Copies of this chain bind each other. A is one copy, B any other.
Amino acid sequence: MAELKIYFDNASTTPVDKRVLEDMLPYFSEHFGNPSSLHDYGDMSHSALDDARSKVAALIGAGDEEIYFTSCGSESNNFALWGIARALKGKGMHIISSTIEHQSIINPLKEMKKEGWDITQIGVDSYGSVDPDDIKKAIKKDTVLISVMHANNEVGTVQMIEEISKIARDNEIAFHSDGVAAAGIIPVDINKLGVDAYSFSSQQMYGPKGAAALYLRKGTRIKPLILGGTQERGRRAGTENMPAIVGFARACELAKDELNKNLKNITVLRDELISGIMEKIKNVKLNGHPTRRIPGSAHMSFEFIEGESILLMLNMKGVFTASGSSCASQALKSSYVLTEMGLSPTLAQGSISFSLGKFNTIEDVKKTLEVLPPIVERLRNMSPIYKEE
């Protein structure tokens, strides 16, 4: 591995904060009890579970009893979509979503279509933004569910959730939002957002993998995805992953306490990176919304060359980035999010996502601004479609 290690792939997953890991450690071999057990070991875990639920709820301003723990963001999204849709099937079978959702929404929707559900997927503008008016127009008599993500995991655009939420409420339609790329990173007040269901995850906010949550507004109907024991009030069976849940809770607490500080610092670094790239390299485009965006996101398209190649050459220099969504990156296809935003296939192919996090420094940005321009130049010189101006 290269000497430098600059991690600019925080949208994909974040390292666990040492303070989080410290809180988790006792729950592996000492306080290891099953929260459902009636003895002291069970009781200890049960109390820790209650405490964790409060902390996770507090991050988004929810009631404790509105938080359901799951194993990951993808499970939360599947749980919300399938669960709410199946619970409301008697009312209607039309669902509205967008074309730039995470795959854990896009792919269940495809499967639902096969099962007879009527799915409308709203397109986005060139910034990757869903127009709430388009949602309004798509509503049918039998629309039972709307699902639009809070922030996009690739380009960082933040959607107008409050506006969509109002439309959903006015039409008595359940509204779910995938908040995996937003919660813990930008302020989330669940009552201000007004959604009925909200997915968020630990591993995007310096908590461990293996824990996530689905917020469900009190009274929201849902069918479980995983049936069995009485865990999570009968809505998600399976022994609770206590170390991960305790870690998730601590991560939520830290994210809440340090949100403003992180938001400010990361934004400064990101803007430094973007302006540095724009200054040093020609024919570059910044993707995503200019203002309505999450702080860490710098998604750029470099004309005439392949994002994949930039990524691999940056990797050789010890700078770790992404092209496309990490969940699909093994596929080496260009991102459907960028295509939906109207980027030409070649520009989409030439894209790299730098996603900054709280552990990045100004040194990381400076070093990247040193190593990136020669990589782009070298690749362009090898490109058959590039002609220097």
Q: Smallest Cβ distance from A332 to chain B, in angstroms?
A: 9
Tell which of B39, B72, B225, B244 touches A9, judged by Cβ atoms closer than 8 Å: B39
Binds B, one of A101-109, A161-169, A256-264: A101-109
A16-B28, A228-B107 given as contacts; is B315 within 8 A of A40 (CB)?
yes
Q: Assess whether A9 is in contact with B210, with CB atoms less than 8 Å apart.
A: no
Considering the complex, which residues of chain A in the window 1-29 have a beta carbon less than 8 Å from any beta carbon of chain B? 1-2, 7, 9, 12-18, 21, 24, 28-29
Give the complex CA separation of A42 and B104 in angstroms. 20
Q: Assess whether B315 is in contact with A38, with CB atoms less than 8 Å apart.
A: yes
Tell whether A326 is near chain B: CB-to-CB under 8 Å.
Answer: yes
Tell whether A267 is near chain B: CB-to-CB under 8 Å.
Answer: no
A1, A2, A74 interface centre (most CB from chain B within 10 Å): A74
Tell whether A329 is near chain B: CB-to-CB under 8 Å.
Answer: yes
Tell whether A32 is near chain B: CB-to-CB under 8 Å.
Answer: yes
Q: Which residues of chain B come closer than 8 Å to A327, judged between CB atoms?
A: 36, 228-231, 237, 239
Q: Assess whether B239 is in contact with A78, with CB atoms less than 8 Å apart.
A: no
Q: Which residues of chain B come closer than 8 Å to A303, judged between CB atoms?
A: none
Q: 0/1 per residue, A205-232, Cβ < 8 Å to B?
A: 0001111000000000001011111110
Q: Assess whether A9 is in contact with B32, with CB atoms less than 8 Å apart.
A: no
Give the complex CA separation of A74 and B243 in angstroms. 18
Q: Assess whether B32 is in contact with A13, with CB atoms less than 8 Å apart.
A: yes
Tell whether A198 is near chain B: CB-to-CB under 8 Å.
Answer: no
Give the complex CA separation of A111 and B225 in angstroms. 11
Q: Assess whether B38 is in contact with A230, with CB atoms less than 8 Å apart.
A: no
Which applies to chain A's interface (DSSP): helix, strand, loop or mixed?
loop
Give the complex CA separation of A75 and B238 in angstroms. 7
Tell whether A296 is near chain B: CB-to-CB under 8 Å.
Answer: no
Q: Assess whether A38 is in contact with B237, with CB atoms less than 8 Å apart.
A: no
Q: Assess whether A102 is in contact with B228, with CB atoms less than 8 Å apart.
A: yes
A30, A39, A40 interface centre (most CB from chain B within 10 Å): A39
Q: 0/1 per residue, A66-105, Cβ < 8 Å to B?
A: 0000011111011000000000000000000000001111
Q: Which residues of chain B come closer than 8 Å to A75, judged between CB atoms?
A: 71, 226, 238
Q: Which residues of chain B come closer than 8 Å to A39, judged between CB atoms?
A: 9, 311, 314-315, 320-322
Tell whether A350 is near chain B: CB-to-CB under 8 Å.
Answer: no
Q: 0/1 per residue, A310-331, Cβ < 8 Å to B?
A: 0110110010111101111111
Q: Which residues of chain B come closer than 8 Å to A314, judged between CB atoms?
A: 39
Q: Which residues of chain B come closer than 8 Å to A78, judged between CB atoms?
A: 225-228, 237
Give the complex CA separation of A21 and B74 in angstroms. 26
A9-B34, A13-B32, A242-B209 given as contacts; is B228 within 8 A of A320 (CB)?
no
Tell whether A37 is near chain B: CB-to-CB under 8 Å.
Answer: yes
Tell whether A33 is near chain B: CB-to-CB under 8 Å.
Answer: yes
Tell which of B14, B104, B240 touches A229, judged by Cβ atoms closer than 8 Å: B104
Tell whether A241 is near chain B: CB-to-CB under 8 Å.
Answer: yes
Q: Which residues of chain B come closer than 8 Å to A1, judged between CB atoms?
A: 40
Q: Assess whether A228 is in contact with B74, with CB atoms less than 8 Å apart.
A: yes
Closest B residue to A71 using CB positions = B71
Q: Assess whether A41 is in contact with B320, with CB atoms less than 8 Å apart.
A: yes
Give the complex CA separation of A42 and B237 in angstroms. 31
Q: Can you sample 17 A-B contacts with CB below 8 Å?
A: A13-B32, A17-B29, A21-B28, A36-B328, A39-B320, A71-B71, A71-B241, A74-B229, A102-B228, A107-B237, A111-B223, A203-B239, A208-B243, A209-B242, A210-B243, A210-B244, A239-B326
Per CB-CB distance, the 3 closest pairs between chain A and chain B, nearest first, are: A229-B327, A104-B228, A71-B71
